[in-house]
Amino acid sequence: MEFSAQQVADILRGQIEGDATVKISKLSKIEEGVPGSISFLANPKYTQYIYHTKASLVIVNKDLVLTGPVAATLIRVDSAETAFSKLLEMYNQVKLNKSGISKHAFISETAKVGTNIYAGEFAVISDNVTIGNNVKIYPQVFIGENAVIGDNTTLFAGVKIYSETLIGKDCIIHSGTVIGSDGFRFNPQNDNQKIPQIGNVIIEDNVEIGANCAIDRATLGSTILRKGVKFDNLIHIAHNVEVGENTYIAAQGVIAGSSKIGKNCMFSGQVGIVGHVEIADNTIITAQSGISKSITKKGEVYMGSPAFEANKYRKSYIHFRNLDSIVNRLNTIEKENRSEEHE
């Protein structure tokens, strides 16, 4: 889509300096600007680029003082960063505003489909599925029997939703993610026979799940992601786990079966949590930490593997780093003691 500088200024309620008719059709960083693009300047460290950028249109703060000629048309606003964020949101809405059902999509006759949905090529909506309004189902998405997808939810290309899964409103699930696959349970006392997994997965409203995640169905009952949960890419959630409201988990996090995670927690990358533990609300766990027991006190920061309180870990780490010198000192003292014993 193409817009004039004047149209952008009207949207942002900004003041134009330069050619109001200049056309833009793409976004760019100010240091990587190209003709026909729009950029912004908010951080003073990037002010030098305003005099050389090839972007056709740049959003700047009202109080920016220029010390040389600028080729680009400017739009002055109260906050360039806020204004550009508004444009990004609008651009994203336009880009993702897909509608219509491809002739190559399959929708079961027993499925219930809401209004204004998008279903891309080779999407499959199975028997007795319920799809809400304004749902976007990208190409090659599979939705199994009896699943429910709430209003305004987006399933990007290649997402696989197993049967009985319940997904709420305003959710975003990125490509390659699998929801409802079997939990990892076998009986070692019976030749490792597979234990049937007959539960489901429940995902509440306003949840975002990154690419290539795996959320296992429960053995019995439900694996649950509460409202507002946000996952990065490559997250594995095992059977019967419950993740509390507004908890954030960064890439490569793993939570083993039947663990319960509290509200408003933040886990950095590669955090591993063993099964059947509970993590209190507002817990922060640093990258590559391993949690081997429950955390019962709210608001604690944990680090290390096995992890313990961060303030204790930092103090202990001083000793970890000096361990070699401490051992050498002990060896020296032992040698001296043995020498004294033989005198």
CATH number of the structural domain 100-311: 2.160.10.10
| C-beta of residue 183 within 8 angstroms of C-beta of residue 239 | yes
Q: How far apart are CA 90 and CA 171, in angstroms?
A: 18
Instruction: State pLDDT tens for residues 144-162.
Output: 999 999 999 999 999 999 9
Residue whose C-alpha is closest to residue 38's, from 91, 79, 105: 91
Percentage of the chain modeled with pLDDT above 70: 99
pLDDT at residue number 202: 98
Whether residue 86 is predicted with pLDDT greater than 80 in this model: the reply is yes
Q: How confident is the model at residue 282 (pLDDT cuts 50, 70, 90)?
A: very high
- What Rg, from alpha-carbon coordinates, does the chain have? 28
What is residue 341's predicted lDDT score, i.e. its pLDDT?
67
At 1 the pLDDT is 75
Task: Please determine, looking at this structure, whether the domain spanning 3-95 carries the CATH number 3.40.190.10.
Answer: no
Mean pLDDT to the nearest integer, 238-247: 98
Helix or strand (DSSP H, E) at 107: strand 106-107
Q: What is the pLDDT of residue 42?
A: 94
Q: How far is CA 277 from CA 227, 248, 305, in A?
A: 21, 18, 16
> Mean pLDDT across the stretch 315-341?
79
Q: For the residues 96-115, what does the mean pLDDT come to?
A: 95
Cβ atoms < 10 Å from Cβ of 29: 13
What average pLDDT does the structure give for the chain?
93
Give the residue-averaged pLDDT of 118-123. 98
| Per-residue DSSP letter, 32 | G
Tell me the H-state helices in the chain: 5-12, 80-95, 310-321, 323-342
Distance CA 219, CA 33 (A): 53
- Give the single-character DSSP code of 183: P
User: Catalytic residue at 239?
Assistant: yes
Confidence (pLDDT) at 337: 80
Domain ranges of the chain: 3-95, 100-311
Q: How many angstroms separate the CA atoms of 235 and 252, rounded?
A: 5
Global pTM value: 0.82
Read off the pLDDT of residues 178-213 as tens digits, 9 standing for 90 and up.
Answer: 999 999 988 888 888 888 899 999 999 999 999 999
Under 8 Å between Cβ of 257 and 273: no
Q: Is 17 left (phi over 0), alpha (psi -120 to 50) or beta?
A: beta
Mean pLDDT lowest for which of 101-110, 207-216, 225-234, 308-317? 308-317
User: How is residue 324 written in tokens?
Assistant: 């070699």
Q: At what angle do helices 310-321 and 323-342 cross, to 10 degrees?
A: 50
Q: Which residue in the list 239, 276, 319, 342 is annotated as catalytic?
A: 239
pLDDT at residue 343 tops 70: no
Mean pLDDT in residue range 321-340:
81
For residue 135, which of 123, 146, 150, 145 has the smallest C-alpha distance?
150
pLDDT number for residue 237 = 98
